[in-house]
Amino acid sequence: MVEQLEPDQATRQVRLQGAGLELAADVRGRDDDPAVIFLHGGGQTRHAWGTAAEVVARRGWRTISIDLRGHGDSDWPADGDYGIGAFAADARDVALALGPRPALVGASLGGLAALLAIGESGEPIASALVLVDVTPRIEQQGADHIKGFMREGMTGFDRLEDAADAISKFIPNRPRPTNLSGLRKNLRRREDGRWYWHWDPRFVQRGEGIDGQDGLLDHDRLVAAALRVKIPTLLVRGQMSDIVSHEGVRELRELVPHALVVDVAEAGHMVAGDRNDAFNDAVIVFLDSVGHGSPNFS
């Protein structure tokens, strides 16, 4: 039975210390519950997880959904550092500050940051890792697709309806939303009257690869980090993903032999948004199993 959140478990907005700046976050669950940190993809905000953080909190976890640096309500770095190492440092500092090792759930850029934070840390920082449609090997075509969408939106939109149209064009497999209130969490209306995505434009102005990063990232660095991941690991992949190929999954299995892989049907790169229920089920089964032996998806 899924429990309802009590008043003391309701969403609280907090500020957390990252690597030299503050990060905005939504926290759900009791303070003494085991923690799960949710790290969204580039160009998104903490609201991108849909109901995932709330559903996980109902199962007895304390969930912390973070706005990455330069995104949402988090600080913008004065030096414009949006390299993958900076995101990883933020994830590491937040994880270490939470006390008992949290689980890290990261989508796209958030997943790469979590992978590096865990693999490059000199001490254990996490109890488990969930990678959401990302592996050390990134497909160029998919990266170009994301880059094009993000850059096209930098000029803003006259109406929220125009932003919804752009999303539908980018993700044609997902029904166009009829309720546009959710878009207000990810866009801000500026003095010129146009709506703009709620992230620092510098994030993508210099980057050529996935989620604003230079090139296709440092594959060797990601491989080295993955080889050091010894904690329970899950990859949730969208079956229609243009970012994670079968070759990418095969490589991850070689690098992290104990990793579990769940393919979500009728989902692309934005797994949590495309199939929220299926995504939630996979993550809950995995997290609930972390402290109770090996996860089993059969």
Judge contact between 234 and 259, C-beta under 8 A: yes
Specify burial of residue 76 (Cβ count, 10 A radius: 0-12, 13-18, 19+): middle
| pLDDT greater than 50 at residue 73 | yes
| pLDDT greater than 50 at residue 286 | yes
3-state secondary structure of 289: helix
Cα–Cα distance between 106 and 37 in angstroms, integer?
Answer: 8
Angle at 270 (CA atoms; ends 161, 295), nearest 5 degrees: 150
Question: Torsion angle of alpha carbons 172, 178, 182, 184, nearest 10°?
Answer: 100
Cα–Cα distance between 247 and 273 in angstroms, integer?
Answer: 24
| pLDDT greater than 50 at residue 119 | yes
pLDDT score of 2: 41
User: Residue 9 — very low, low, confident or very high, per pLDDT cuts 50/70/90?
Assistant: low
Stated as kind and residue range, the H or E segment containing 247 is helix 246-255
Tell me the pLDDT tens digit for each residue of 177-203: 777 888 888 899 999 999 999 999 988
Beta strands in the chain (DSSP E): 12-17, 22-28, 35-39, 62-66, 103-107, 128-132, 187-189, 195-197, 233-238, 260-264
**What amino acid occupies position 116?**
L
Cα–Cα distance between 97 and 54 in angstroms, integer?
Answer: 22
Cα–Cα distance between 99 and 81 in angstroms, integer?
Answer: 27
| pLDDT greater than 90 at residue 221 | yes
- 121 vs 150, residue with greater confidence: 121
Cα–Cα distance between 90 and 126 in angstroms, integer?
Answer: 14
Domain boundaries, the chain: 7-138+216-290
pLDDT score of 214: 56
pLDDT score of 242: 92
Q: Which of 78-92, 102-116, 264-278 has the lowest mean pLDDT?
A: 264-278
Supply 223's token pair: 């491989």
Stated as kind and residue range, the H or E segment containing 90 is helix 84-97
pLDDT score of 293: 41
For the domain spanning 7-138+216-290, the CATH number is: 3.40.50.1820
pLDDT score of 208: 52
pLDDT score of 7: 53
Tell me the pLDDT tens digit for each residue of 93-117: 999 998 789 999 999 999 999 999 9
Q: Which of 52-56, 129-133, 220-224, 291-295 has the lowest mean pLDDT?
A: 291-295
pTM: 0.90
